[in-house]
């Protein structure tokens, strides 16, 4: 077990970390806390029991675990009318319970307030989706920084679309329109805008609280690195008037094999089996396929993906949620793909471990920012298949600006909880065509993919340099610590006066 948190001494800076209850937010926030501890601060992570179980072992193994503490807050299932064991958004049985989850989220406020009151940290690093931490920070005169889980490109595109409203005169769902106010010419479509632009989420009050909380926030701690989007880091600072501290890619902080394999959860596949299977393959010959922890495809779309992958005759590892939906083709499909070099992982996968293997030559991804960064860090180009939220924006960055991926061609998002209504987005023929072209080349396409591979490898090297001592992300961690130390000294002088 991690050491019990104690009030900080007069010298060591103490940071409280409040992660949101979703793997794509919890995992990088845990890494960020560990990174700050490795730079000499005390880091305390505040989370619920089920979420703690997802990162407890990696904290216990951390070289600086004595400076990392975990404080438990209880999740109010009954009070929010939620079923038990729904402490994370990816565990909700239906999207209809999103409002209840948001309600439970807000109910954590008093417990968190009590902990801040008792331990008086020097700063709070809070997920954007926990706006009540702004009230706590204001109450105790503590600087608050947000973690938002995506890149500055997507944040700037969101702000520009909100400010200029270029979509209001567009009628076609799929007609690209220009978004002004950005360093690059960026085009998006109505169908690629997040649901909240149209008031479809039912969480308008929640989003308003987030916007209000941002007004009193000191800055942003971001899982990105300056070299991948320099103009957008600068633009976000200019538009918001807040400092941005890019400290990523934080996945690169995990250097121990076991930490890489168990990052975020215990894998559903044996690490040794997975590695030995990959060892048997040629370099860049395996496609890794994973669409994140939230959306579930319909049976009909799963069948199209399965048929397309099988027809491509490309070796692949495909990760699916352990869902009843997949049982309709599992046994027969698994038997066939064993002969054709395919693995199906049902549940949690050791994604970073897989992507870093030399035999993996491509990643079919939903374009969640963590996945994009992990692919870049591993030097693996992408086949992009965005589903919802800002994932279409991330695709735009990957395909159009960075030129390190090919779009599968999906034009419409797959709203979480509305999968059955939407049905099939991409047919098997398109899956086969793109996978074959991407992984095997042919038809003059080899050069295109090789150029992508070269560019993403160069970005991966820049990412590694950024997190190493003296690199931009490493320095940004020290910069924030320096800024907070100055704030603490100035605050004490003010009190003495």
- Asked if the model's pLDDT at residue 6 lies above 80, the reply is no
Structure tokens at 111: 């417990």
Q: Would you say residue 2 has pLDDT above 50?
A: no
Q: Can you list the alpha helix ranges (DSSP code H) found in 127-283?
A: 132-140, 152-164, 204-215, 230-240, 257-262, 271-279
Cα–Cα distance for residue pair 245/380, rounded to 1 Å: 25
Res 3: pLDDT = 38
Give CA separation, 310 vs 287, 289, 341, 362, in Å.
12, 13, 10, 16
Looking at residue 5, its pLDDT comes to 43
Q: CA-CA distance, 430 to 168, in Å (whole number)?
A: 32
Q: Is the pLDDT of residue 9 over 80?
A: no
Is the pLDDT at 10 greater than 90? The verdict is: no
pLDDT at position 197, please? 43
| Residue 26 contacts residue 88 (beta carbons within 8 Å) | yes
Whether 414 has a pLDDT exceeding 80, the answer reads no
Q: Is the predicted pLDDT of residue 1 greater than 60, yes or no?
A: no
Q: Is the pLDDT confidence value at 189 over 70?
A: yes
Local confidence band at 492 (pLDDT 50, 70, 90 cut-offs): low
> Token pair for residue 71?
């404080």
Is residue 384 within 8 A of residue 395, CB to CB? The reply is: yes
**CA 209 to each of CA 122, 133, 215: distance values in angstroms, whole numbers, following the listed order:** 24, 11, 10
Q: What is the residue extent of each domain of the chain? A: 14-253+465-496, 265-464
Q: What is the pLDDT of residue 388?
A: 85
- Tens-place pLDDT, residues 154-188: 999 999 988 888 777 777 888 899 999 999 999 99
Strands 315-320 and 144-147: unpaired
Mean pLDDT of 430-444: 83
For 195, the token pair is 């649901």
The Cα 476–Cα 143 span in angstroms is 17
Residues 355 and 112: their CA atoms lie apart, in Å, by: 37
Task: Determine if the pTM surpasses 0.95.
Answer: no
The mean predicted confidence, pLDDT, of the chain is 88
Tell how far CA 94 is from the center of its chain. Answer: 21
- Asked whether residue 440 carries a pLDDT value surpassing 90, the answer given is no
- Report the range out of 16-25, 88-97, 263-272 with the highest average pLDDT: 16-25
Q: Is 495 exposed, middle or buried (0-12, 13-18, 19+ CB in 10 A)?
A: exposed
Q: Is the dihedral of CA 255, 261, 265, 266 positive or negative?
A: negative
Q: Do you know the residue count of the chain?
A: 497
Burial grade of 435 (CB within 10 A; 0-12, 13-18, 19 or more): buried
Please give the C-alpha separations between residue 64 and each of 89, 126, 250, in angstroms, as whole numbers.
29, 21, 16
228-242, 285-299, 359-373: least confidently modelled range: 285-299
Mention every residue, 6+ apart, whose C-beta is less than 8 A from residue 31: 223, 250, 251, 253, 254
How many Å apart are CA 29 and CA 119, to the nearest integer?
20
Distance CA 292, CA 319 (A): 9
User: Cα 186 from chain centroid?
Assistant: 22
Confidence of residue 203 (pLDDT cuts 50, 70, 90): low
| Digit-coded pLDDT (tens) for 255-311 | 887 888 778 677 778 788 899 999 999 999 999 999 988 777 888 888 899 999 999
Q: Is the pLDDT of residue 4 over 60?
A: no
486 pLDDT exceeds 70?
A: yes
pLDDT confidence tier of residue 214, bands split at 50, 70 and 90? confident
Highest mean pLDDT among 15-24, 80-89, 316-325: 15-24
The mean per-residue pLDDT over the stretch 373-380 comes to: 97
Residue 428 pLDDT > 80, yes or no?
A: yes
Rg over CA atoms, the chain = 22
Q: What is the pLDDT of residues 308-336, one digit of tens each?
A: 999 999 999 999 876 566 666 666 777 77
* Higher pLDDT, residue 137 or 256: 137
Residue 322: per-residue pLDDT: 61
Q: Which of 91-95, 105-109, 265-269, 416-420 has the lowest mean pLDDT?
A: 416-420
Q: How far apart are CA 30 and CA 16, in angstroms?
A: 11
Where does 14-253+465-496 sit in CATH, by number? 3.40.50.2000
- 317 by DSSP, 3-state: which? strand
pLDDT tier at 446 (50, 70, 90 boundaries)? confident
Percentage of the chain exceeding pLDDT 70: 90
Q: Residue 346's Cα: distance from chain center in Å?
A: 20
Same fold: 14-253+465-496 with 265-464: yes
Helix (H, G, I), strand (E, B) or coil at 108: coil
Q: Which CATH architecture has domain 265-464?
A: 3-Layer(aba) Sandwich (3.40)
How many angstroms separate the CA atoms of 252 and 474, rounded? Answer: 12
The CA distances from residue 186 to 178, 313, 321, in Å, are 6, 36, 33
| % of the chain residues with pLDDT over 90 | 64
Average pLDDT for 119-136: 96
276, 287, 141, 150: which is closest to 218 by C-alpha? Answer: 141
Please check the confidence at residue 496 and state whether its pLDDT lies above 90: no
281/284 Cα distance (integer angstroms) = 8
Cβ distance 309 to 433 under 8 Å? no
In this prediction, residue 246 carries a pLDDT of 98
d(CA 397, CA 469): 27
């Amino acid at each position: 077990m991690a050491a019990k948190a104690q009030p900080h001494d007069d010298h060591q800076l103490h940071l409280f970390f409040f992660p949101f209850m979703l793997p794509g937010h919890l995992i990088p926030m845990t890494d960020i806390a560990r990174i700050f501890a490795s730079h000499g601060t005390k880091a305390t992570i505040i989370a619920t029991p089920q979420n703690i179980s997802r990162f407890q072992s990696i904290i216990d193994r951390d070289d600086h675990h004595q400076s990392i503490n975990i404080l438990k807050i209880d999740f109010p299932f009954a009070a929010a009318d939620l079923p038990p064991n729904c402490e994370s958004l990816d565990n909700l049985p239906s999207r209809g319970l999103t409002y209840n989850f948001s309600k439970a989220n807000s109910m954590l406020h008093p417990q968190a307030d009590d902990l801040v009151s008792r331990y008086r940290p020097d700063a709070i690093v809070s997920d954007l989706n926990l706006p009540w931490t702004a009230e706590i920070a204001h109450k105790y005169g503590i600087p608050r920084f947000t973690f938002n889980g995506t890149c500055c490109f997507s944040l700037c595109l969101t702000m520009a679309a909100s400010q200029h409203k270029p979509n209001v005169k567009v009628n076609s769902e799929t007609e690209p329109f220009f978004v002004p106010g950005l360093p690059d010419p960026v085009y998006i479509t109505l169908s690629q805008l997040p649901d909240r632009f149209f008031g479809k989420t039912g969480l308008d009050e929640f989003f308003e609280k987030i916007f209000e909380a941002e007004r009193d926030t000191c800055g942003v701690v971001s899982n990105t690195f300056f070299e991948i989007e320099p103009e957008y880091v600068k633009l976000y600072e200019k538009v918001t008037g807040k400092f941005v501290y890019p400290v990523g890619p934080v996945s690169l902080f995990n250097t121990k094999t076991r930490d890489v394999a168990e990052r975020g959860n215990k894998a559903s596949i044996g690490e040794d089996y997975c590695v030995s299977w990959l060892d048997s393959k040629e370099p860049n010959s395996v496609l890794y396929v994973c669409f994140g922890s939230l959306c579930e495809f319909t049976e009909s779309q799963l069948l199209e993906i399965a048929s397309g992958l099988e027809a491509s005759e490309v070796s692949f590892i495909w990760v699916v949620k352990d869902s009843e939906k997949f049982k309709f083709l599992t046994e027969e499909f698994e038997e066939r793909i064993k002969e054709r070099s395919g693995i199906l992982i049902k549940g949690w996968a050791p994604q970073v471990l897989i992507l870093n293997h030399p035999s993996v030559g491509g990643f079919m991804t939903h374009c969640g920012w963590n996945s994009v960064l992990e692919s870049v860090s591993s030097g693996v180009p992408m086949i992009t298949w965005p589903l919802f939220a800002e994932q279409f924006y991330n695709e735009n960055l990957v395909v159009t600006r960075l030129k390190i991926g090919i779009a599968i061609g999906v034009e419409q998002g797959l709203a979480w909880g509305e999968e059955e209504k939407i049905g099939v987005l991409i047919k098997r023929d398109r899956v086969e065509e793109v996978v074959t072209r991407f992984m095997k080349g042919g038809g003059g396409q080899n050069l295109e993919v090789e150029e992508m591979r070269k560019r993403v490898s160069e970005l991966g090297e820049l990412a590694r340099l950024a997190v190493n001592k003296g690199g931009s992300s490493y320095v940004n961690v020290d910069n924030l610590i320096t800024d907070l130390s100055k704030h603490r000294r100035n605050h004490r002088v003010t009190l003495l006066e």
